């Protein structure tokens, strides 16, 4: 019995047990019987495969969307980091305007950078 197709192999073995013999008539009965048993099994297996492929497609789409979201966030973070590195005088001005009542300096700076980059519009 093949490990990769146990249901098919079991079906064939079961039919073989019911239709022994090697004469042309016995083989004809065996082939007809195995066909009658394998046809519905093949349809069932194809349906299961299609169902699983559909689920795999859904998972792929969700993963692709997540990757795109991470890419978008990474690019936005890179843009902010580059702005900070390229505008030290503006960063200094922003930090001088910061007041502790406005929350943490990090949050305030991030907000100001996002505002400068037009991400808040």
Q: Per residue of the chain (121 residues), give pLDDT as tens.
A: 556 888 888 888 888 888 888 888 888 888 888 888 888 888 998 899 889 999 999 999 999 999 999 999 999 999 999 999 999 999 999 999 999 898 899 999 999 999 999 987 6
- State the Cα angle at 73 between 72 and 77, rounded to 5°: 120
Q: What pLDDT, on a 0 to 100 scale, did the predictor assign at position 62? A: 95
Q: Assign residue 85 a region: left if phi > 0, alpha if psi is -120 to 50, beta otherwise?
A: alpha
- First vs last Cα of the chain: how many Å apart? 65
CA 33 to chain centroid: 41
pLDDT confidence of residue 20 = 82
What is the pLDDT, as a whole number, of residue 16?
83
Euclidean distance between CA atoms 53 and 87, whole angstroms = 50
Beta carbons of 75 and 67 less than 8 angstroms apart: no
The pLDDT score that the predictor gives to residue 83 is 93
């Amino acid at each position: 019995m093949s490990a990769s197709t146990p249901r098919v192999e079991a079906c064939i073995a079961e039919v073989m047990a019911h239709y022994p013999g090697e004469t042309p008539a016995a083989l004809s009965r065996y082939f007809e019987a195995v066909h009658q048993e394998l046809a519905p099994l093949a349809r069932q297996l194809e349906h299961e495969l299609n169902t699983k492929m559909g689920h795999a497609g859904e998972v792929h789409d969700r993963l692709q969307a997540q990757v795109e979201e991470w890419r978008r966030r990474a690019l936005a973070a890179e843009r902010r980091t580059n702005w900070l590195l390229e505008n030290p005088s503006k960063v200094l001005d922003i930090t001088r305007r910061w007041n502790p009542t406005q929350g943490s300096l990090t949050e305030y700076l991030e907000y100001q950078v996002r505002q400068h980059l037009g991400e808040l519009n």
